[in-house]
Structure 1
Amino acid sequence: MMDLPLTPDSGWNSLYLAGEWTDPGDRGTIAVENPYTREKIATVPAGTEADVDRAYEAAAEAQRSWADQPPQRRAGVVTAALEFVRSHREEITDLLALESGSTQVKGEAELQTARGMMQQAASYPFRMKGQHAESVIPGKEHIVERNPAGVVGVISPWNFPLHLSMRAVAPAIAAGNAVVLKPASNTPITGGLLLARIFEEAGVPEGVLSVVPGQGSEIGDAIAGHEIPRVLAFTGSTEIGQRVATQAAENCALPALELGGNNVHVVTENADVGRAVDGGVFGSFLHQGQACISINRHLVHEDVYDDYVGMLTDRAANLPTGDPTDGDTIIGPIIDETQRDQILAYVDETVDEGATLETGGDHDGLVVEPTVLSDADNDMAAACNEHFGPVAPVIPYSSDGEAIELANDTIHGLSGSVHSEDLEQARTIADGIETGMIHINDQPINDEPHVPFGGMKQSGLGRYNGESILDELTTTKWISVQRESREYPF
């Protein structure tokens, strides 16, 4: 695949196993469709359980020698991969538009976060420091080494496929691990085979990375329940994440999970309403709301409720919709019909439950109109479920305590935001909300490579980014040296 352009018809009909592009043979296939036109843009092989076995076995064989490489070698591969991504920016954003329905704004944001994570990962080989400790026993020395975990399995989603694959793959490789990646079946190129191209060009040794596309129903259990990986990194729904965690735990592998969210955007009576609406529009409608950290519920104080609903409705109604390859488009397509129909069902059910449809509620193909629902409450379908679409239920509240209670009335605890010109009030509310991340006078969609990223409750286990992901992908080993004769009690 060397020197091929990064386009949908650039020969993606191969698996990347043990450093080799493997022809599909008699395997089944996965049709990759443009979610806007519904045209088939590529075909990739559907990996089998035998492919998973081969990938993990090759990873186990390659990992030890990769871990023994000097840090500058491992850092150099990640840096070369970063340069490849930088030099192919336009081709990659085009692929993201065609395969995942990413608008230009979303594609650029995804590339920026992916590049930032790669830049951070390139420093990891020089940050894997152990420690020296004194002992309570005379003449004993303690040494604590930090070593790679071993083999890492990665199962990534379709919504931000490049970034959410790269944020596990690049740190794992940098830290001296080998990786087996299963991308989502909707985005097997930008979430999987593209990473194989990137790291192959960067000079990663054979076996250190394998990419096995496939349906989760067919090979998901083989990836998650395999005896070889020591870490399973999964991003996706809470339901599937719980299954992955159970399978990983059966083999004493560490599950690193970033799962669903039901994030709130709290707008207090002391908020700058215009500023809060700016954040609310971005936080609800970036990538059609298909982000685990997007706003799922707008909690707005009754004193500013009408103003907020009016401004949010006007902004939503005027967002450009359509083809994501058009640079002016803000709202592109939902990933597939199943997701679209679920979103619209939540909207219809919420209206039946008594909410008012202020704007939206319809669709053109897979493009769902930006939708605002007023007079909503926490128990309505679009509010109590992670709707994962361009839908903004707006819920009134009357006190800070009620806002906190409403915010916490969910199984999730991933992200959120609070708006108030009174920073003490904002901080008090933020402190009361049970969530892994919260942003004052902003919106929930924030991800920076050096800051811990993850949730509480049923929104996940562990953290990505910075030192946190390095902790997930490494293990410690305690070595003691008794330098003097020791007296024993018997």
Structure 2
Amino acid sequence: MTQVKSTSSTNEGVNFISFTKSYINGQWVEGNSGRNYDDLNPFDHSTITSIPIASKEQLEEAFQAAKAAKKEWAANTKLRQDVLKNFIQYLQNNQEAIINTLVLETGSSVLKSQIELHLTTSLLEESLKIVDSLGKVKTVDPTMPGKVNHVYRLPLGVVSTIAPFNFPLFLSIRSIAAALALGNTVVHKPDIQAGLSSGSVIAKGLEESGFPAGVFNSMLTDIQEIGDAMLEHPDVKLICFTGSTAVGRHIGRIAGGSFKRVALELGGNSPFIVLKDANIDQAVKAAIFGKFLHAGQICMAINRFIVHEDVYDEFAKKFVEHASKLPYGNPQDPTTIVGPLINQVQLDKALNKIDKLKAAGADVLLEGQLVGNVLTPYVFGNVDNSSEVAQSEFFAPIAVLIKASSDEHAIEMANDTEHGLSSAIFTSDLARGEELALRVEAGMTHVNDQTVNDLPNIPFGGVKASGVGRYGNPWIIDEFTETKWVSVQEQERQYPF
């Protein structure tokens, strides 16, 4: 039996910046592709560290290790419970080091990093509740004499997890925790821009927590090196991906051809609907948080503010006033709210959208500025909901206000998008708000709250081009297990021929 190591409470001084190796079959292995990736601080573009890129051959080693470890891991419920508890304790013991890593590597504010770590530990605590879901037997009423029907849940096997840069720790753990709790093994590829936050922090924590070799493997590599190997490998039974709709479509085509399962959280175009009877002051407070947390680099972030014309001017004035006062700058300053975008490519995309909005004649309600690598809040008014820019995902601190002629018109415009992840409605009539929420074509709608919400015990996910599958207990169990019917014929059955 695997010996479970206890998690020490003396790890507070760990420096995750030094963990630049991939973690394969319980060993820290230097990438041997011959290429290095310079991990940059998004705020000043200084080099945090250099990461040796792992090769496609090393990825194959990780898959083989995960395959070899899956049988014993799936069979040991007590071990899974114990080491997950140790991992939670490890994260709690190393909060300061983890937050510092998120701030340095991803440009996250201290507040956003604290929120992310809290979401991560809450999700892990919820995952403990599903550890014993395997092998559960449900007796189904027999449809013929002498037959007993049982339904079992079994692990899928090897799960491939691919994480984004924006909430790298949480959006990695969301898939990893469920996979491991339910007896699967994992090969994980973080976005290399957040390789330490999304890969090394997790690998070190799982190592210290007593996870057996091969159960979790973290690959610090890139698409240039491995291509579609995370998707195409024959041992992969489920592909978990959070990122763009375009990449999600690519994954869907590959997975469909080989009948692999997918859990995809893709792009969003979240509407924030302000009805004419809304509490404007409260709506503005919610709107500011839902738009500018992590400089808008969140799939659930508010993308379009759809405001009833009767309250449009009041909302716009108060929203601009609040947005103009948000602290911005170095995310290492704990007072900072708006920090840098992750890289120059994302910044260029944001600046291009600003140019397009101005060229289209949108009202410039708040003219932001580029201060070093930080883009301060921009607010545009009277934007055309059907325009190319309004129909795209911003991933930047750019707010667009769209005027609705009626509440019905607001709902129509909210649904006029290929996406359907999160959404929000502000109204004083809560019953009507919930009624309208059911008409919004999104996986999640929040009445009198903003769009950035996630809980470990709700069905999190999108519709349309925003994804496939649901996270959250108990819905996650269906995604990460196979359901098997076993019947036992206790009496001799009579056959017609």
Question: Could you tell me how far 1:249 is from its partner in structure 2?
Answer: 2.2
- Whether the 8 Å CA contact 1:75–1:124 is kept in 2: the answer is no
Aligned to 2:5: none
Q: 2:399 aligns with which of 392, 395, 398?
A: 392
Q: For the residues of structure 1 that align with 2:472 and 2:330, how far apart are their CA atoms?
A: 32
Matched residues in 2 for 1:480 and 1:220: separation? 43
Matching residue within 7, 16, 40 for 2:15: 7
Q: Which residue of 1 aligns with 2:75?
A: 68
Please state how far the C-alpha of 1:141 moved relative to its aligned partner. 0.9
Corresponding residue pairs, total: 487
Aligned-pair identity (%): 38
Q: Which residue of 1 aligns with 2:214?
A: 207
- Given that residues 12 and 95 in structure 2 are in contact (C-alpha distance below 8 angstroms), is that contact kept between their aligned partners in structure 1? no
2:109 maps to 1:109: no
CA separation in 2, counterparts of 1:42 and 1:140?
63
Deviation for aligned residue 1:469: 1.4
1:336 to 323, 330, 343: 343
Q: CA offset at residue 4 of structure 1?
A: 9.2
Matches within 5 A, 1:260-339: 260-339=267-346
Note the 1:12-411 alignment, pairs <5 A. 12-25=19-32, 27-69=34-76, 71-128=77-134, 129-411=136-418
Offset of residue 219 of structure 1:
2.1
**1:27 shift after superposition:** 3.1
User: What secondary structure sits across from 1:179 in the alignment?
Assistant: strand
Post-superposition offset of 1:136: 1.6
Separation in 2, partners of 1:347, 1:327: 28
Pick from 476, 486, 490 the counterpart of residue 493 of structure 2: 486
CA distance in 1, matches of 2:424, 2:376: 24
Letter of the structure 2 residue corresponding to residue 415 of structure 1: S
Code of the aligned partner of 2:118: Q
Cα contact 1:382–1:393 (8 A) shared by 2 = no
Output one character per residue of 1:299-321: Cα deviation in whole Å (capped at 9) or x when no partner. 00001101111111111111010
TM superposition shift of 1:477: 1.2
SS at match of 1:187: helix
Q: Show structure 2 runs of 5+ residues with no match.
A: 1-7
Output the TM-score relative to the length of structure 1.
0.97
TM-score, normalized by length of structure 2?
Answer: 0.96
Say which SS state the counterpart of residue 432 (structure 1) adopts. Answer: coil
The answer to whether the 8 Å contact 2:133/2:182 transfers is no
CA contact (8 A) 2:21 2:220 kept: no
Amino acid of the structure 1 residue aligned with 2:303: N
For residues 144 and 448 of structure 2, the distance between their equivalents in structure 1, rounded to whole angstroms, comes to 53
Residues 257 and 462 of structure 1 are in contact (CA less than 8 Å); yes or no, is this contact kept in structure 2? yes
In structure 2, what is the Cα distance between the partners aligned to 1:455 and 1:216? 26
Deviations, residues 48-99 of structure 1 (Å, cap 9, x unaligned): 2212211111101100111011x22101111110110011111111100000
Q: Please tell me whether the aligned partners of residues 17 and 101 of structure 2 are also in contact (alpha carbons under 8 angstroms).
A: no
**Contact kept in structure 2, 1:184 and 1:216, CA below 8 Å:** no
Hey, what's the Cα distance between the residues in 2 that align with 1:379 and 1:239? 20
Q: CA deviation at 1:26?
A: 5.2
Mean Cα deviation higher: 159-168 or 399-408: 399-408
SS in 2 for 1:239: helix
* Whole-angstrom distance in 2 between the partners of 1:392 and 1:151: 41
1:456 to 457, 463, 467: 463
CA distance in 2, matches of 1:164, 1:262: 19
Take 1:40 and 1:166, find their aligned partners in 2: how far apart are those partners? 26
CA contact (8 A) 2:379 2:400 kept: yes
- Matches of 2:222 and 2:484 in 1, distance apart? 37
DSSP-derived class of the 1:413 partner: coil
Distance 1:472 1:57 in 2: 23
